[in-house]
Amino acid sequence: MSNLIDSSATRITPRRREAAALPDMDSSNSASTLVIAGRIPTVAPQDYVLEARQIAKVYRKGRHEVPVLSDCDFQAQRGQVTAILGQSGSGKSTLLHLLGTLDTPDEGEIYFEGKRIDNLARRKRDRFRNCQLGMIFQFYHLLPEITTLQNVLMPIMIQQGLFSYWRHRVAHRMRAQELLERVGLGHRLTHRPRELSGGEMQRAAIARALIGQPQLLLADEPTGNLDRETGQHILKLLLELNRERGLTIVLVTHDESIADDCDRVIRLEDGRIVA
Ligand code: ADP
Ligand code: MG
């Protein structure tokens, strides 16, 4: 049977309740999440930026098979922050990698803005990732030998090619600098990653993810390697970017407290989406 993410099973978080001006049904503990028994209004299909239908993924190692996802349906609504919660090993990264076309599912289909993306040819897939998608990871994945500013510019260089990049380099640099200032790193433009703190590296990675002006940001445990306070600052920054730019964010995490600040929360258990 399909693990449809039924809206009746979706937790309504304090942030979403605030946005929808829903009454506080649990005033004794307003910080806690709320389970609404009834359905929230159905979202028109065109409002799904990202949709996965019936995905399955099995890793194969020699004769061994590791089933990770099965019958997995997922939707990300435009302009919302969706958290995918699950314990270590539950398949969160696998799902995010499939959504970001870093890997392909064994079964099922994935759609971005109504267009299928899981079966794109390599060039189209690379272009999709470069133009429509921003990704951030637990360990930042910055290039160690180049500066913060150059790391942020790298996706533009790849997207445009060196010649076109060079012609517009002043504008690109200004944009990268503006983004770095927005994420609070305007004073670290020429630092290399090893000269930055964990929180600063994640800020640089966020700026790099946004340089191509994506509609969608996929975040894999973005606070997983940070202390609690720094993690809170990063989450706050992501929520601000969501509100300022209408950026759709899908964030996987095992941290229950993060989920309360998101619009929508779904859970993965043993590779299956559960209520
Ligand atoms: P999570 O991100 O929730 O911690 P993952 O998606 O990384 O979980 O992994 C889910 C399961 O798949 C784990 O049991 C992991 O060991 C296994 N796995 C992940 N990547 C591979 C791989 N490339 N080959 C074989 N097994 C893998
Ligand atoms: Mg993971």
What digits encode the pLDDT tens for the residues 217-252?
999 999 999 999 999 999 999 999 999 999 999 999
For residues 98 and 84, the answer to whether their CB atoms sit within 8 Å is: no
Task: Please report the pLDDT score of residue 269 as a whole number.
Answer: 87
Mean pLDDT for 157-185 is 95
Task: Please count the helices (runs of H) and the strands (runs of E) in the chain.
Answer: 8, 11
- Predicted local distance difference test score (pLDDT) of residue 15: 64
Q: Residue 27: what pLDDT? A: 38
pTM: 0.85
> What angle is formed at CA 97 by the lines to CA 248 and CA 110, rounded to 5 degrees?
70
67 close to 58: Cβ distance less than 8 angstroms: yes
Residue 46, pLDDT > 70, answer no
Cα–Cα dist 193/188, whole Å = 10
Q: What is the pLDDT of residue 275?
A: 62
The domain made up of 7-23+48-274 has a fold known as: Rossmann fold (3.40.50)
d(CA 251, CA 170): 33
Instruction: Please name the residue whose Cα sits nearest to atom 11 of ligand 1.
Output: 89
How remote is the CA of residue 99 from the centroid of ligand 1, in Å?
15
Q: How confident is the model at residue 255 (pLDDT cuts 50, 70, 90)?
A: confident
- Closest by CA to 259, choosing from 242, 235, 240, 234, is 235
- Residue 98 CB–ligand 1 contact under 6 Å: no
Higher confidence at residue 142 or residue 40? 142
pLDDT given at position 22: 43
Q: What is the pLDDT of residue 7?
A: 39
Q: How far apart are CA 207 and CA 113, in angstroms?
A: 23
From residue 39, give the alpha-carbon distance in Å to each of 20, 115, 142, 190, 198. Answer: 14, 27, 42, 51, 40
By CB neighbour count within 10 A (0-12 exposed, 13-18 middle, 19+ buried), where does 68 fall? Answer: buried
CA–CA dist 36, 206 (Å, integer): 33
Q: What is the pLDDT of residues 174-220, one digit of tens each?
A: 999 999 999 999 999 999 999 999 999 999 999 999 999 999 999 99
What does the pLDDT read at residue 5? 39
Looking at per-residue pLDDT, the higher value among 17 and 143 belongs to 143
Q: What confidence category does residue 260 fall into, taking pLDDT thresholds of 50, 70 and 90? A: confident
Q: Contact 274/267 with Cβ under 8 angstroms?
A: yes
What's the gap in Å between 257 CA and the centre of ligand 2? 17
Is pLDDT larger for residue 37 or for residue 238? 238
Q: Which of 55, 66, 221 to mutate to test the pocket of ligand 1 (most atoms within 8 A of CB)?
A: 66
In this structure, what are the phi and psi dihedrals at residue 3, rounded to the nearest 5 degrees?
-90, 65
Mean pLDDT of the chain: 86
Does 92 sit in the ligand 1 pocket, CB within 6 Å?
yes
Cα distance between residue 151 and residue 144, in whole Å: 9
Among residues 8, 6, 15, 13, the alpha carbon closest in space to that of 242 is found at 15
pLDDT, residue 265, reads 93
For a pLDDT cut of 90, what percent of the chain falls above it?
A: 73
Pocket test of ligand 1: the residue of 55, 59, 69 to mutate, having most ligand atoms within 8 Å of its CB, is 59
Q: Is the CB of 67 under 6 A from ligand 1?
A: no
Ligand nearest to the CA of 219: 2
The residue contributing the CA closest to ligand 1 atom 6 is 91
Ligand whose nearest atom lies closest to the CA of 138:
2
What pLDDT does 270 receive?
Answer: 77
- Ligand 2 centroid distance, CA of 171 (Å): 36
First vs last Cα of the chain: how many Å apart?
Answer: 14
Q: What is the pLDDT of residues 107-129, one digit of tens each?
A: 999 999 999 999 999 999 999 99
Ligand nearest to the CA of 95: 1
What pLDDT, on a 0 to 100 scale, did the predictor assign at position 31? 31
Whole-angstrom Cα Rg for the chain:
19
The pair of three-digit structure tokens given for residue 196, joined into one six-digit string: 């930055």
With cut-offs at 50, 70 and 90, classify the pLDDT of residue 44.
low
> What's the pLDDT at 45?
55
Residue nearest to atom 23 of ligand 1 (CA): 59
Ligand nearest to the CA of 221: 2
Sign of the C-alpha dihedral computed for residues 25, 18, 218 and 216 taken in this order: positive
Q: Which pLDDT belongs to residue 172? A: 97
**Residue 224 CB neighbours (<10 A):** 17
pLDDT score recorded for residue 254: 87
